[in-house]
Amino acid sequence: MMRYVIVGGGVAGTAAAENIRKRDLEASITIFTDEPYTLWSKIRLPELFSGSVGPKDLLVRKPQWYERRKIHLRTELTVNAVDPGTKTITTSKGEEVPYDRLLLATGGTAYVPPIPGADLENVFTVRKLEDAIRIYGQLKNLGNIVIIGGGTLGLELARNLLETEADIHVVESHERLLPKLTDPAGSEMLHLRLTHLGINVQHDCDTEAIVGEGRAREVVIKDGRTLSCDAVIIATGMRANKTLGEALGLEMERGIIVDDHMTTSIPDIYAAGDVCEHRKVKYGAWRAAEEQGAIAGANMAGEDLVYEGTVPSKYVRVSGADVFSAGNLDWRGDLESKMHVEWEKMGYKRLVLEGCKSGGAIRIGDLRDAQRALRAIDNGTDVCPYMEDLRTWDLSFVPKAVTQNR
Residues contacting 60, CB < 8 A, separation 6+: 11, 14, 38, 39, 40, 41
CA pair distance 109, 242, nearest whole angstrom: 9
CA pair distance 353, 133, nearest whole angstrom: 43
3-109+238-300: CATH homologous superfamily?
FAD/NAD(P)-binding domain (3.50.50.60)
The alpha-helical segments, DSSP class H, found in 220-369 are: 243-248, 286-300
| Domain boundaries along the sequence of the chain | 3-109+238-300, 123-234, 322-391
Q: Report the chain's C-alpha Rg in angstroms.
A: 22
Inform me whether the pLDDT recorded for 403 exceeds 70. no
Q: How many CA atoms lie within 13 A of 243 on its CB side?
A: 11
Same CATH topology for 3-109+238-300 and 123-234: the answer is yes
CATH architecture of 123-234: 3-Layer(bba) Sandwich (3.50)
pLDDT, position 129: 86
Q: What single string gives the DSSP state of each residue in 154-185?
A: HHHHHHHHGGGT-EEEEE-SSSSSSTTTS-HH
Residues contacting 94, CB < 8 A, separation 6+: none
- 139-186 residue pLDDT tens: 878 899 999 998 888 998 898 888 888 899 999 999 888 888 889 899
Inform me whether the pLDDT recorded for 321 exceeds 80. no
CATH 3.40.50.970, domain 322-391, yes or no = no
Mean pLDDT score, 301-314: 90
CA pair distance 53, 395, nearest whole angstrom: 33
Mean pLDDT score, 213-220: 94
Q: How far is CA 292 from CA 29, 81, 406, in A?
A: 18, 23, 18
pTM listed for this prediction: 0.86
Q: How far is CA 250 from CA 253, 257, 373, in A?
A: 10, 8, 38
Residues contacting 208, CB < 8 A, separation 6+: 115, 116, 220, 221, 222
pLDDT, position 215: 94
